[in-house]
Amino acid sequence: MKVACSEAVDVVMRTAAQRLRMLPGRRLVGEIAMPGFVAEDPVTQAMLSDLRDLAQLDGTGARQKLKHIFLVGERGTGKELLARAIHNWSARSSENFRVVNLGAINKELAPSEIFGSKKGSFTGSVADRPGYIEDAVRGTLFLDELDEADDNTQALLKRVVQFGTYNAVGSPDELSCDVRFVAATNRVSGADGFIKPDLRDRFLEVRVPPLRDRKGDIRPLAEFFAAEYKYKLPELVLGYLGGFEWPGNVRQLQNVVERVCALARSEEDVTLAAFEASVKESGANPAVFEMEDGRFYPLAVGETLKERQNSQDRWHIKYALTLFAGNRTHAGRFLGMTRQHLRERMKSFGIVDDNP
């Protein structure tokens, strides 16, 4: 997890977090419960433990920054669930939690949606209208896809995040509010070009790890999704699902499991073959495992060990023939086989070479 903040604020945050850890009755990392978010991998557990500490840091004045959190993670990593958890773990849990997706609303209307508007402030405004901020007072407002907000909206957000004051669109009256802002972006790299630094710097930044970096969650997540359909996944299926990168993260894994379970008539239909078809349809990539002697690339969907071996042999033979300009004697010696054996393998793979 990366927390980006000034050195002074960082010291305050760490000190407060240490005090929280000493409170009697505090649950251990492995015992953190969070409905809808499975977390058994140590990487995920560490992130949740840190988020829970941050959720209870609710500063005011000079420490205002301590209460605003910026979640940075790929699509499908569960950022909204984490934002809800931050709200539920905080002293604001009894108040409203509201969500505004800045990528889904008209950019010109975003200020009125967030800050509210006065009657007649724009065409079609026939009455005073409260915004998301007013509805989230004393609670939490989740700003999803913050990078989609235009410069004007970001400038207005910077003011309310920093000072806790704002104006409804069309109103000269300055209003104050007590709201915790949790923002999110899926632009893991390059978000700086879309979010103003002076806005981003008002948040404590937390990195949400992708599923490929917390492989220990794949099995329990798959079991969790299947249990929603009252099915138990075979051990062979669970091991198979652990062999993929899941670029779409938890959401992609969920879709794969639910596709099989929704079409199954009974548990007998929840088979490896069904999951192979579902994974292929999803476009998930085989994982690359770092081994002591190099990288290991698992079999592709539907690929057998013999097919992989034949494919590797075929390419090695073609490479050797190219390396030695088609000379079978030299190529065979390079590959550790006789010229006759090389000729037989070439024939079995359909490799045609004009050289004798």
Is the pLDDT at 64 greater than 80, yes or no? no
Please, what CATH class does the domain formed by 213-291 belong to?
mainly alpha
The pLDDT of residue 33 is: 55
- The mean pLDDT value for 229-250 works out to 91
Give the pair of three-digit tokens for residue 301: 């969907």
Least confident of 53-57, 68-72, 279-283, 319-323: 319-323
Q: Which residues of 126-155 are buried (b: 16+ CB within 10 A; e: fewer)?
A: eeebebbbbebbebbbbbbbbbbbeeebbe
- pTM across the whole model: 0.73
Q: Which of 236, 203, 275 has the alpha carbon at shortest distance from 6? A: 203
Q: What is the DSSP-derived secondary structure letter of residue 100?
A: E
The pLDDT of residue 322 is: 84
- In percent, the amount of the chain with pLDDT more than 70 equals 80
The pLDDT of residue 184 is: 97
Q: For 15-62, what is each residue's pLDDT tens digit?
A: 334 433 333 333 333 345 566 678 899 999 999 999 999 998 886 555
- The CA dihedral of 208, 212, 217, 218, to the nearest 10 degrees, is 140
Q: For domain 7-209, which CATH number applies: 3.40.50.300, 2.40.50.1020, 3.40.50.720, 2.40.30.20?
A: 3.40.50.300
Is the pLDDT at 290 greater than 90, yes or no? no
Q: For 133-173, what is each residue's pLDDT tens digit?
A: 999 999 999 999 999 999 999 999 999 999 999 999 989 99
Q: How confident is the model at residue 14 (pLDDT cuts 50, 70, 90)?
A: very low
Q: How confident is the model at residue 83 (pLDDT cuts 50, 70, 90)?
A: very high
Is the pLDDT at 275 greater than 80, yes or no? yes
Three-class DSSP category at 94: coil
Gap between the Cα atoms of 324 and 320, Å rounded: 6
